Amino acid sequence: GAVVSQHPSWVICKSGTSVKIECRSLDFQATTMFWYRQFPKQSLMLMATSNEGSKATYEQGVEKDKFLINHASLTLSTLTVTSAHPEDSSFYICSVPDPGGQPQHFGDGTRLSIL
Amino acid sequence: DAKTTQPNSMESNEEEPVHLPCNHSTISGTDYIHWYRQLPSQGPEYVIHGLTSNVNNRMASLAIAEDRKSSTLILHRATLRDAAVYYCILKDWAGSYQLTFGKGTKLSVIP
């Protein structure tokens, strides 16, 4: 069965809206989770590392004030895309490392479309 | 983490074996070779990983060259469900947990 639950799987909203995406670890606690973004016909790019109990670590070029990450508990991380614009339309995917570090368990992704 | 090189795309007939190559000439002694695949409109899923010896699991086999500068993912009988992008990723056992994805190989399976 699924190890990681990501919700919603698909969302369409108007420009300027904020959108929250949830990533839940179902089988084990995770102090670290990862958020990736994937544009059409491209590979996954790491956006940020979500850390339980401390601030997220963002990759270079990712705006931390635009992509708010909250690691609310040992089984839940949320990514909020604030004031979303059409260029933020993408496939957002979270992952949870196995307790031993590898492998990574990925969510099914969230298709975000900003009109 | 060291870089990998994979063909952009490959085709296979259904029920035939598939050999997906990966070159990693700059691999270090502590790098594990990981394979993930991504089915259309889904997140990636783990396939297999290894360090030096060949590995088998229910999904696939991983053949690692003796000098570790290349490896091959083997799907023994391709099915339509195996059509996906396959990523070969090197991961230092002691490094951080995140993965760095390259472009991968898009596998098409012909009925």
pLDDT-derived band at B81, boundaries 50, 70, 90: very high
- Looking at the predicted structure, is the pLDDT value of residue A102 above 90? no
B97 CB within 8 Å of a chain A CB: yes
Q: Tens digits of per-residue pLDDT, A22-54?
A: 999 999 999 999 999 999 999 999 999 999 989
pLDDT-derived band at B110, boundaries 50, 70, 90: very high
The answer for residues whose C-beta is within 8 angstroms of residue A26's C-beta and 6 or more apart is A1, A2, A3, A4, A5, A75
Check residue B1 and give its pLDDT: 61
Residue of B nearest to A103 (CA): B46
Residues 37-76 of chain B with CB under 8 A from chain A are 38, 41-46, 49
Contact A109 B45 (CB under 8 A): no
Q: Tens digits of per-residue pLDDT, B24-45?
A: 999 999 999 999 999 999 999 9
A105 CB within 8 Å of a chain B CB: yes
Rounded to 5 degrees, φ, ψ at B72 are -135, 125
Question: With contacts defined as CB-CB under 8 Å, which chain B residues touch A6?
Answer: 43
Check residue A78 and give its pLDDT: 97
A34 CB within 8 Å of a chain B CB: yes
What is the Cβ-side half-sphere exposure of residue B66, based on CA atoms within 13 angstroms? 0
Contact B97 A106 (CB under 8 A): no
CB A109 within 8 A of CB B38: no
Check residue B94 and give its pLDDT: 76
**Disruptive mutation site among B30, B90, B99 for chain A (greatest number of A CBs within 10 Å):** B99
pLDDT-derived band at B98, boundaries 50, 70, 90: confident
Check residue A101 and give its pLDDT: 76
- Looking at the predicted structure, is the pLDDT value of residue B2 above 80? no
A20 CB within 8 Å of a chain B CB: no
Check residue A115 and give its pLDDT: 94
Cα A105 → chain centroid: 13
